[in-house]
């Protein structure tokens, strides 16, 4: 069977990203980030992001084609993030993808950003695709998913009830004046600190929580506890705060993920999303999965943050599975639920 050559476009937030895959082989992954334009505001400004996408779209597509050594006429299908994300940013990607699909007379797959984060794992190895538990952690999302079929069946087991893990990293980094984005800064500082120096709370891990909401997350209380600690201890050691804060998040994420594996009987765990690039999470996940006999898979750090490869990957899997393409006329959905893998 000839593997489909798919171009994927991702514009859900502040990265204009284009990826090209052939089946499960990555040919190009080009990212034009506007993060520096947002840094002085301490977070992403939607209007700035949308304008940056408009300016970067054509150059990014052209560079991806050059790196993949293919032409637009070689493309078998176009994939694009339809949601969730910033609506203005999404519309730039959707409009670009629809224009390509019409001009090339090729099918288009409008896919879910969250499902795409999971699917990018499948271009990092060639093992047979099977049901897995997915821990999706990023700046906007923290979810536990049971992925029965990445192209058609995703069950949401739990999610954050307040701040996402990445959002908590950003907020605490802002309080500690470490800059934006906060995740990489805290990760780097934590390497010099003592992770057991401060016993910060683990949200939703009481016995009652395990009975009523075993797979949900809450990081708002942790954020508040850290902020209060910083106010009450003027001579605090920044590295210890960073390490202890990070350890609390990593501990909770892995407790919940491994519990989901055990309860479901699924012996495979995929960790995806921007926070999956965190070095401490990757280390602890490997240690605990090895001990529990769970097969762990985490994409390379460069494929954890938003990228076009993940969108192209899901589009290629959709095409290979014979899933129905998306009609050209459709609406982007800023709050698209993770259980909707693609629009058809």
Q: pLDDT at position 38, please?
A: 61
Render the burial of 198-231: b for 16+ CB within 10 Å, e for the rest.
bebebbbeeeeeeeeebbbbbbbebbebbeeeee
CATH topology of domain 130-298: Nucleotidyltransferase; domain 5 (3.30.420)
pLDDT of residue 140: 85
Q: How many residues does the chain have?
A: 344
CA–CA separation, 305 vs 299, rounded Å? Answer: 10
Instruction: Give pLDDT, residue 243.
Output: 98
Would you write out the chain's pLDDT as a tens digit for each of its 344 residues? Answer: 579 999 999 999 889 999 999 999 999 999 998 766 766 677 677 788 899 999 999 999 999 999 999 999 999 999 999 999 999 999 999 999 999 999 999 999 999 999 999 999 999 888 889 999 999 999 888 999 999 999 999 999 999 999 999 999 999 999 999 988 899 999 999 999 999 999 999 999 999 999 999 999 999 999 999 999 999 999 999 999 999 999 999 999 999 999 999 999 999 999 999 999 999 999 999 999 999 999 999 999 999 999 999 999 999 999 999 999 999 889 999 999 999 999 98
Strand 142-149 with 268-272, pairing: unpaired
Q: 240: part of which helix (H) or strand (E)?
A: helix 238-264
| pLDDT score, position 127 | 87
Judge contact between 332 and 83, C-beta under 8 A: yes
Contacts (Cβ under 8 Å, ≥6 apart) of 22: 3, 4, 5, 6, 316
Sign of torsion over alpha carbons 268, 294, 186, 301: negative
Q: Map out the domains of the chain as residue ranges.
A: 5-121+304-343, 130-298
Cα–Cα distance between 246 and 277 in angstroms, integer?
13
Pick the CATH number of 5-121+304-343 from 3.30.450.20, 3.30.420.40, 3.30.530.20, 3.40.190.10: 3.30.420.40
């Amino acid at each position: 069977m000839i593997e489909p050559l798919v171009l994927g476009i991702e514009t859900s937030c502040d990265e204009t990203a284009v990826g090209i895959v052939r089946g499960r082989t990555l040919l190009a992954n080009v990212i034009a980030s506007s993060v520096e334009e947002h840094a002085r505001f301490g977070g992403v400004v939607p209007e700035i992001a949308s304008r940056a996408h408009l300016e970067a779209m054509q150059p990014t597509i052209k560079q991806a084609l050059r790196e993949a050594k293919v032409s637009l006429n070689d493309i078998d299908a176009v994939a694009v993030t339809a949601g969730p994300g910033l609506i203005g940013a999404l519309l730039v990607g959707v409009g670009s993808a629809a224009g390509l699909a019409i001009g090339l007379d090729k099918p288009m797959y409008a896919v879910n950003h969250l499902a795409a984060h999971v699917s990018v794992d499948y271009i990092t190895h060639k093992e047979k695709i099977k049901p897995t538990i997915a821990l999706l952690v990023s700046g906007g999302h923290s979810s536990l998913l049971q992925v029965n079929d990445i192209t058609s069946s995703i069950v949401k087991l739990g999610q954050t009830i307040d701040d996402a893990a990445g959002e908590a990293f950003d907020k605490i980094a802002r309080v500690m004046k470490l800059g934006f984005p906060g995740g990489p800064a805290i990760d780097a500082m934590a390497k010099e600190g003592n992770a057991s120096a401060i016993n910060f709370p683990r949200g939703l891990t009481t016995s009652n929580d395990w009975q009523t909401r075993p797979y949900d997350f809450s990081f708002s209380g942790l954020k508040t506890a850290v902020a209060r600690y910083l106010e009450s201890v003027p001579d605090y050691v920044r590295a210890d705060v960073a390490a202890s804060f990070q350890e609390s998040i990593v501990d909770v994420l892995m407790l919940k993920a491994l519990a989901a594996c055990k309860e479901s009987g699924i012996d495979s765990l995929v960790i995806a999303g921007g926070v999956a690039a965190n070095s401490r999470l990757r280390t602890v996940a490997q240690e605990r999965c090895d001990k529990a006999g769970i097969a762990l898979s985490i994409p390379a750090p460069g494929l954890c943050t938003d990228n076009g490869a993940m969108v192209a990957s899901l589009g290629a899997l959709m095409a290979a599975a014979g899933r129905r393409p998306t009609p050209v006329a459709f609406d982007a959905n800023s709050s698209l639920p993770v259980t909707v893998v693609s629009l058809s």
